[in-house]
Chains A and B, each alone.
Chain A
């Protein structure tokens, strides 16, 4: 069972990495192609801005879930840093469960927002593409981020160390530098 979970976690991490990388590279190619087309060939990519907006939505929400997984989030730790291990552990545990709940709530609201966009059949102005398909990534990203906090809550209950996420333990270094 534990191995299955680990496997699911690895696969979802790979998918997140792929989406984030792919979107960033595509933004670069899209913008440069648009400028070159306009300058050299007198042809603009009429959907260039719209495509970038879609890509930035996927970078933001999928990247957010990925950042939580990596324990990377912006916090104000002035008070926290001055506390002892026990208090920090209590605070971190409480924060992970409340943040998880908040993100699940937002994912739930996002799901209904996407549903509404589907019902009114909102189409993007340039590509005339159903917007809800792109925005489906929002509830997914928020729910994945919420799940990461839920997992770190469980890890904090089961283990002595302070878990900022499943993989990231406070004080330990990771490939991406110190967690903050």
Chain B
């Protein structure tokens, strides 16, 4: 960074008022002495006072000089900052469609706070937004950007209902048992209730929790406790049998090695350090998914993606302003914004012929040869009759094409 901490410290230690204060003190001392001299020798008061005039002037001159130094320092630092942010104007506000969406923004924030486990802040936030909607600041005649109270409340309503809050409270209480107390039972109880849904998703969570519980008991209380658990869970381990036969037999075999597990082929099973964290993560993920929510806060991902995208968008804004160009397709951004791969969620299909992204209105169509183009492209090429695939020699009819969902 072009502003280093050292540079700032240098600036802060030089450009401050302390010297000026010292010089004001000198003026005070001077006048105090003058006063004493006048009291001690009233006869020469006139000359004493006159003699003090020059030194007082000097004192003030040095305070002035001290202040000037602060002024210069501030100015220089200000310039450094300006240079640093010179090419970075904030986007103009008139094209921000979000400015009028306060209730939706508030809802997103409230849900973010809940999913992050910030329950106290979330309650405060709900109180604040409710009182703000109930008492809009005194008789306002500009309802344009403050939607009516009912409107805001209805769109916020889902977060006012306690269900979501309870769900996340449950999630955090399960997570804290798991992480802090190594207590898996609440998580196991939850996964058992959700067993069918988890299985439909192809999730191994329920089994992994039971497995870790077995290992944990083995580790902390010995073989008998672990076996007792497995037996008590018998009906459940039986339920696991079809899907997890291999894993179950591994667990059973490991018991044979008991005193020297560390050198057994099963040590990975028992000594893996990250297991608890991994399990906590996959629990969070499954829990959120069953609520239809993504595992990481969408608000976090969107704000981070925004920070990554902004430099590109601002460059674009500057160029368009220079060229006085208007970007007309309000539907699609005019530039490609590269994001980290973990920020890609959907498959994207760009028609190789028209170069357009496919949409509901213009979906991707697969020809019998397995090649894909956008529907509009297909219609243009075919004109109702047989046509040749642009990628291979095979011919097909539009009716043979299959609509794809990516």
A and B co-occur in one complex: no
* Chain B interface residues (CB < 8 Å from chain A): none
